[in-house]
Copies of this chain bind each other. A is one copy, B any other.
Amino acid sequence: MPPYDPSAYPPFAVTVDLVVLTVRRHALCTLVVRRGESPYQGRWALPGGFVRAEEDLGAAAARELVEETGLCAHDPAAPPPVPSNGAHLEQLATYGAPDRDPRMRVVSVAHLALAPDLPAPRAGGDANSARWAPVEELLGEDALAGKAEAAAAAAGEAGSEEKEGGPEALAFDHARILADGVERARSKIEYSSLATAFCPPEFTVGELRRVYEAVWGVSLDPRNFHRKVTGTPGFLVPVGGTTTRQGGRPAQLFRAGGATLLNPPMLRPEV
């Protein structure tokens, strides 16, 4: 790399942060790690780390994802030959407020990963521990600045609310990043087949419906949902077998079809 006058531009640290979402026990959950270092020590944070000198942004996110979860990132542009436990990974947004990290100027390129339900997370790297936390618990409708907290005061809130959004507020601006990631996932499963990324390779219509219900936080009519997804071309391909994982009548098994954009889209119920 040719030299260049370093005084012509200010130096930045560039990191990647990960919003890893999954559906566990009917709830949308995200991976958080306990911070062991100085700023926000002991608080939960999104997993992440520095981008290496010769590393692409997406590669850095994939590396962090493997380190934290063992998941093999599944680039939508280049489907892997082996259908391993690959998670969907895409860039979310970049956060670079000058004071977001008190140590130095850090620009963080957040990525969004969607994964099927996994066993307990393995703590990796510099994290003391890691867990799947329900996003509702982390984003309690007022975990972000700007939301009215009048309702809490009026209701005589039980528990120990802290100043910045609940007892388990995330470090840095990670609550904002998580909220953006959740909103991205909520809107993207509307018009793409991304909801299948939350499912194992073979799944039933009911399991897919429970993904939508968990991500959107609504309940859907099983009959209309079944008609909709089986009638959308390219969304699901039957794989032949049946299963009775959930009790009740055995259900057909499907794989994700080749379609990435759904037409017609799934419609999120109104408010």
Contacts and interface: CB of A to CB of B under 8 A. Distances in A.
Count of identical protomers in the assembly: 2
A77 B105 CA distance: 24
Contact of A50 (B9, B54, B57): B9
Query: Which residue, A1, A56, A96, A107, has most C-beta atoms of chain B within 10 A?
Result: A96
B91 A54 contact: no
Contacts of A54: 98
A10 to B, nearest CB: 4
Interface stretch (A11-19, A20-28, A231-239): A11-19
Contacts of A245: none
A55 interface: yes
Contact of A14 (B1, B4, B107): B107
Interface of A is mostly: loop
A53 B91 contact: no
A109 interface: yes
Contacts of A109: 94, 96, 107
Interface in A102-116: 102-105, 107, 109
Query: Which residue, A10, A91, A95, A103, has most C-beta atoms of chain B within 10 A?
Result: A10
A241 interface: no
A95 B56 CA distance: 9
A9 B13 contact: yes
Interface string A49-63: 011111111000000
B56 A1 contact: no
A97 interface: yes
A12 B10 contact: no
Contacts of A53: 10, 98, 105
A83 interface: no
A93 interface: yes
Nearest to A190: B191
Interface in A223-262: none
A79 interface: no
Contacts of A50: 8-10
Contacts of A95: 57
Interface of A: 1-2, 4, 6, 8-14, 50-57, 91, 93-98, 102-105, 107, 109, 263, 270
In the A-B complex, the 4 residue pairs with the smallest Cβ-Cβ separation, listed nearest first, are A11-B11, A10-B53, A57-B96, A94-B94
22 contacts: A1-B104, A2-B102, A2-B103, A2-B104, A4-B103, A4-B104, A8-B50, A9-B14, A10-B52, A12-B12, A12-B13, A12-B51, A12-B107, A51-B96, A54-B98, A55-B98, A56-B97, A56-B98, A57-B94, A57-B95, A91-B94, A96-B109
